Structure 1
C-alpha cells in the first residue's frame, strides 16, 4: 500500500514567491488527507498534481496562514461537481469559525460538509487500518497537531515451515496468516504463531502545525517514519520564536532526535529564509544526524514501510 506526502505550502505567516502558506497532503493508496489549508491551496493542488479528491481536512489552528484557503478550496471542489461529503476537523472552539469560512460570502456548497472539534489526546478520525490522532501543541491560540498512525501488520508468513507441518497449499495459508489456527485432516492443529512472525509496525506520519517544542510531540512522534515540524527561525531569532510560540530549527531537531524519527522535515519557514533556508538546515543537522531536509513547495516524499526503508 503506497503512501506519498506532498508539501503544498511550506512558508510562514507571510507568503513569498517561493513559498505558499501552510498545507500538507498525504495520499494513502488513493485516500487523500489534507492538513491545514493556507491561502491558494487549491492552486497548489493543481500545480503539483495531487488531485482534489480529499476525504478529510485537518486544521491545526485558526491563524490565517493555515485556514484562508478553505473558502477557495470549497468553491473549487463545488465547481468540479463534487458530491462526496467532506469532514473538517479542528481544535477546540474552532467549529463555528470553520463553518463561517466554508460559507464565506453566503456561499452554500452543493455537497455536505461536517465539522468536528478535536481535543488533544483523542482520535480525530478512525479508519479500518489506521487512525489520525490529535496531540497537544503550544501556540498563541487553541491548537493541536495530528499523527497518522497505521495499525500493525501481520508478521511474515513462513511458507516453508507451513509445508513442513503438512499445511496444504491454498486457503489455509491465508487463514493462518490472518491469525486463525487450522486443523489438518489427521487432526493435527497448526497454530498461527507457528508459521507467522511477530507483527510488523505500520507507518506513522506526524504533522505539528505551529508550536513550541514539546514533550507531547516527542511522545507521539516516537519512531515516526516522517515528522513535519515547525522550524520557523534560526538560533539568532530564538527570542522571537518564544514570543510568537514557534520553534527554531535546532529546537525542532531536538524533538526529532529524542523521538528517533526516520525522516525529519523542517517547515513553516520564515520569509527571511524563503530563498536560502541553509541556515535552518545547518543548525538542525548539528543536533539531528539522520535524514533531515527543509521542505520545499511541491516536494513529494514517499513513506515506505520500515523493512523497505533501509
Structure 2
C-alpha cells in the first residue's frame, strides 16, 4: 500500500525562483490529497506530474501564501470537465472566506465544492483504513495542522505454526488471519492468537503549516513516520520567528525529537535562504539525529514505508 509525499511548494511567504509557496501533495494508493494551496500550486502539480484528481484539500490557515492557488486550481479543474465533488477543509469560522476566495473570479465551478470547518482535535476525514485529524497550532492567524493516521494493521500470520497445529492450507488460514477461530476435523479449535502476531502500527504523516513550536504538535506527531514542520528561520532569527508565529529549524528539530518522529522535513523556508538552505538543514541535524532531518526541494518525493518494513 503506497504512501507518497510530493513537496510542491517549500518557500515561506515570498516565493523564489527555486521555491514556490506552500503546498504538499499526498498520495495514498488511489486517494490524493492537497495540504495548503499557495499561488502557483496548479503549475507545480503539472510540473511534477501529480495530476489534479485530488478529492480533499486541507488548508491550515487563510494567509495568501497558503490559499491564493485555490481559485486557479478550481478553474483548471472546471476547464478539465471535472464532475467529482471536492471537499475543502479549513479552520472553523473561515468557511465564508474560502467561499469568497473561490468565487473571486465570478465563475462558479460546475462540480460540487464542499467547504468544511474543523477545530483542533476533530477528525476532518474518516476513511475505512485511516483518518485525517486536525490539531491546534499557534500562528498569528486562526490555524490548525493535520495528521494522516492509518489504522493498525493485522499481525503477521505464522504459516509454519499453523501447519504445525494441523490447520490445512486454504480458507482456514484466511479465517484465522481475519480474527476468527477455526475447528479442525478432530474437533480441536485453533484461536487466532495462536498463529497471528500482535497488531502492527500503520503510518503517520504530520503537516503543521505555519506555527510556533507547540505541545499539541508533539502529541499529534508521536512516533510519526514523517513530520513536515515549519522551519522558516535559522536560530539567529529566533526573535523574528516568535513575533511572526513561526519556528526555527532548531524548534522543529526539538519537536521531532520530543515526538520520536522518524523523519523531519523542514518547510516554509524564508526567501533569505532561497539558494542556500543548508544552514536550516545543518542546524536541525545538530539536534535531530543527522540525516533524518532534511530540507526538501520543490518536486522532491518521499515514500513512507510501513514501520519495521
Q: TM-score range by the shorter chain?
A: over 0.9
User: Which deviates more from structure 2 when the two are superposed, residues 211-220 or residues 163-172?
Assistant: 163-172
How far apart are the structure 1 equivalents of 2:179 and 2:306? 21
| Residue in 2 that maps onto 1:280 | 280
| Residue in 1 that maps onto 2:294 | 293
Q: Gaps (5+ residues) in structure 2?
A: none
| Residue in 2 that maps onto 1:305 | 306
How far apart are the structure 1 equivalents of 2:91 and 2:184? 54
Q: Gaps (5+ residues) in structure 1?
A: none
How far apart are the structure 2 equivalents of 1:169 and 1:101? 59
| Residue in 1 that maps onto 2:219 | 219
Structure 1 residue 193, shift from structure 2 partner? 0.6
Structure 1 residue 49, shift from structure 2 partner? 0.5
| Secondary structure in structure 1 of the residue aligned to 2:186 | coil
| Residue in 1 that maps onto 2:100 | 100
**After the TM superposition, which residues 71-150 of structure 1 pair with which residues of structure 2 at under 5 Å, given as runs?**
71-150=71-150
| Secondary structure in structure 1 of the residue aligned to 2:198 | coil
Structure 1 residue 307, shift from structure 2 partner? 1.6
| Residue in 1 that maps onto 2:203 | 203
Residues 78 and 109 in structure 2, CA contact (< 8 A), matched pair in contact too: yes
For the aligned residue pairs, the C-alpha RMSD in angstroms reads: 0.7
How far apart are the structure 1 equivalents of 2:17 and 2:166? 66
Structure 1 residue 30, shift from structure 2 partner? 2.2
CA offsets 1:213-257 (integer angstroms, 9 cap, x no match): 001111110110000000000111111001000000001100011
| Secondary structure in structure 1 of the residue aligned to 2:135 | strand
| Residue in 2 that maps onto 1:11 | 11
How far apart are the structure 2 equivalents of 1:238 and 1:202? 35
How far apart are the structure 2 equivalents of 1:76 and 1:173? 49
Structure 1 residue 163, shift from structure 2 partner? 1.0
How far apart are the structure 2 equivalents of 1:174 and 1:71? 48
Residues 139 and 244 in structure 2, CA contact (< 8 A), matched pair in contact too: yes
Structure 1 residue 181, shift from structure 2 partner? 1.1
How far apart are the structure 2 equivalents of 1:33 and 1:190? 42
Structure 1 residue 101, shift from structure 2 partner? 1.6
How far apart are the structure 1 equivalents of 2:47 and 2:25? 13
| Secondary structure in structure 2 of the residue aligned to 1:76 | helix
How far apart are the structure 1 equivalents of 2:252 and 2:263? 13
How far apart are the structure 1 equivalents of 2:38 and 2:32? 17
| Residue in 2 that maps onto 1:64 | 64
| Residue in 2 that maps onto 1:151 | 151
**After the TM superposition, which residues 170-189 of structure 1 pair with which residues of structure 2 at under 5 Å, given as runs?**
170-189=170-189
TM-score (norm 2): 0.98
Structure 1 residue 64, shift from structure 2 partner? 0.3
| Residue in 2 that maps onto 1:161 | 161
| Secondary structure in structure 2 of the residue aligned to 1:105 | coil
| Secondary structure in structure 1 of the residue aligned to 2:237 | helix
Residues 234 and 283 in structure 2, CA contact (< 8 A), matched pair in contact too: yes
**Runs of 4+ displaced beyond 4 Å:** none
TM-score (norm 1): 0.98
| Residue in 1 that maps onto 2:53 | 53
Count the aligned residue pairs: 308
User: Which deviates more from structure 2 when the two are superposed, residues 171-180 or residues 240-249?
Assistant: 171-180
| Secondary structure in structure 2 of the residue aligned to 1:155 | coil
Structure 1 residue 82, shift from structure 2 partner? 0.7
How far apart are the structure 2 equivalents of 1:150 and 1:239? 37
| Secondary structure in structure 2 of the residue aligned to 1:115 | strand
